[in-house]
Structure 1
Amino acid sequence: MTQPPTDRTTPPDVIELRDATKTYPGGVDALRGVDLRVAQGELAAIVGPSGSGKSTLLHLLGTLDRATSGEVRVAGYDVSRLSDAQLSALRARHIGFVFQHFHLAPGRSAQDNVADGLLYGGTTLRERRARALAALEDVGLGHRVGHLAHQLSGGEKQRVAIARALVGEPDLLLADEPTGALDTASGELVMDLIRGLHAAGTTVCVITHDNEIAESLPRRIRFRDGAIVADSGAAPGPAGSPAAHTEEVSR
């Protein structure tokens, strides 16, 4: 499998955008000159109403789409310089995704759904299943490994999705409205898991329109009309390492 280039000399920010834009056919400017840095170990909310640009940003950060102009670096790699095969390798090795509606494969067990997160990592089936079991135990679902997706509650499905995202030990976890399809109690449990992952050293970006969730996180990056309109500033990583601070801004 083709791997991303390995010409890095110093540990970079996990995310770095410089004057990034995204324009869709018809002249729709989804992102307008976004500058953003997220340091290793941060827990940040990317918050804004529908149509603000946060979903477009998610696609750029997850290397699921490319910027129209500007620079996007994820885990130190300039996304614009990578082939499709290298982008796939980058996602497999460095990025975990959690979506609102879980995206679990029906008819497959929780363990197999998590193991599928390692399909592109070059590991054997036996290793994938062993690591999936460990990941499910980490999210409190060791007793549900053999249950099929339709036999799980909404909160359990989201915990399976989190385990799948983390089984490859990514540098960056992107959580897109992770509590949007859950009841209050299940949502609080999922957010507790996300905070625990951050405390263990994972860099996490939570994309949300929920201001209550955003206000509960250390950093809040607010989007409106395709631009950052406020940024509460970077917080230190869980190990206490300082990160660059950005003052609150308005545009």
Structure 2
Amino acid sequence: MTYPMIQLTDVSRTYPGGVAALRSVSLRIGHGELVAIAGPSGSGKSTMLNVVGTLDRPSSGTIRIDGYDVSELSDGQLSALRATTIGFVFQHFHLAAKVPALDNVADGLIYTGLARSERRRRAAAALERVGLGHRMDHEPHELSGGERQRVAIARAVAGEPPLLLADEPTGALDSVSGTGVMELLHELNASGTTIVIITHDREIAAGLPRQVGMRDGQIISDSAVPSGSLAESGVA
């Protein structure tokens, strides 16, 4: 049986104080898709990324990642799932200061159990892949914003995860650097990686094959579902 890469069924996330960040959200994303989850601040899109990435557990509902029901996994198994299946790219890079690009990427593979030499080999290959083979020995402060984001993407894909989650990947970049990062994400998707991009930027969302719109913790639109059919499809 072939499972979707991501399947959410009636997922809700309520925080202390009764704040409902997600409200009975259902969503299915297939292998190889390139999807924008878009909405204004407070719409629930970042919470969506956290539960899909298994960084947070839902209050109710079911989340399956590549067929695995995450509610049935222990913390150790969730860590293993993240290490082998999910890559993360964040808006503010999260690179270690005074650490060369090569080691910033290689350190992202520590939890895979690979030997240090193999981690560094894969890190070098990932940096070559994102066009930074000539900047491996440079520390973050010696790189431009666009280059730092490319290092972050290299770190996310060095373990060749089938799923990449990107949270506002161009939010801290100028337009030229942002365009370069989006072109890179398109290239990674063309090679088979499923990519979900969280964004409030309508222009970025419009440039992707599928757009899922969120507001007040719910999906209000999905370009993969005919208009007016969300309720019937089980998407919302």
The bucket for the TM-score relative to the shorter chain is over 0.9
How many residues are paired up?
230
CA drift at 1:36 = 0.1
The corresponding residue for 1:118 is 109
The equivalent residue for 1:193 is 184
Of residues 203, 216, 219, the one that matches 1:225 is 216
Match of 2:200 among 199, 209, 213: 209
Q: Residue 19 of structure 1 aligns with which residue? A: 10
**Aligned 8 A contact 1:136 1:163 in 2:** yes
Per the TM alignment, residue 247 of structure 1 is displaced from its structure 2 partner at its CA by: 2.1
Partners of 2:163 and 2:122 lie apart in 1 by 19
2:226 matched residue in structure 1: 247
Q: Is 1:178 the equivalent of 2:178?
A: no
Equivalent of residue 150 in structure 2, options 152, 156, 159: 159
* 2:83 equivalent to 1:92: yes
Partner of 2:57: 66
**What TM-score does the superposition give when structure 2 sets the normalisation length?**
0.96
Aligned-partner residue type, residue 153 of structure 1:
S
Q: Distance in 1 between matches of 2:186 and 2:138?
A: 26
The separation in 2 between residues aligned to 1:106 and 1:248, in whole angstroms, is: 47
For residue 33 of structure 2, what is the aligned residue in structure 1?
Answer: 42
Which secondary structure does the structure 2 equivalent of 1:112 belong to?
helix
CA distance in 2, matches of 1:106, 1:195: 28
1:92 alignment partner, SS class:
helix
Paired-residue identity, %? 63
Unaligned runs of 5+ in 1: 1-9, 234-245
Question: What root-mean-square deviation, in Å, do the aligned CA atoms of Structure 1 and Structure 2 show?
Answer: 0.9
Measured in 1, the distance between the counterparts of 2:197 and 2:222 equals: 14
More helix per residue:
2
Say whether the 8 Å CA contact 1:75–1:171 is kept in structure 2.
no
Aligned to 1:120, what secondary structure does the other structure show? Answer: helix
Once the two structures are superposed, residues 105-159 of structure 1 have per-residue CA deviations (whole angstroms, 9 ceiling, x without a partner) of: 1111000011012101111000000110010000000000000111111000000
In structure 1, C-alpha distance between the alignment counterparts of 2:189 and 2:39, rounded to whole Å: 22
Per-residue Cα deviation, 1:147-200 (whole angstroms, up to 9, x for no partner): 011111100000000000000111110010000000000000000000001111
AA partner of residue 227 (structure 1): Q
The alpha carbon displacement at 1:248 in A equals 3.1
Q: How many Å separate the matches in 2 of 1:79 and 1:203?
A: 18
| TM-score, scaled relative to structure 1 | 0.90
Deviation sequence 1:37-89 (CA, Å, 0-9, x none): 00000000000000000000000011000000000111211111111111100
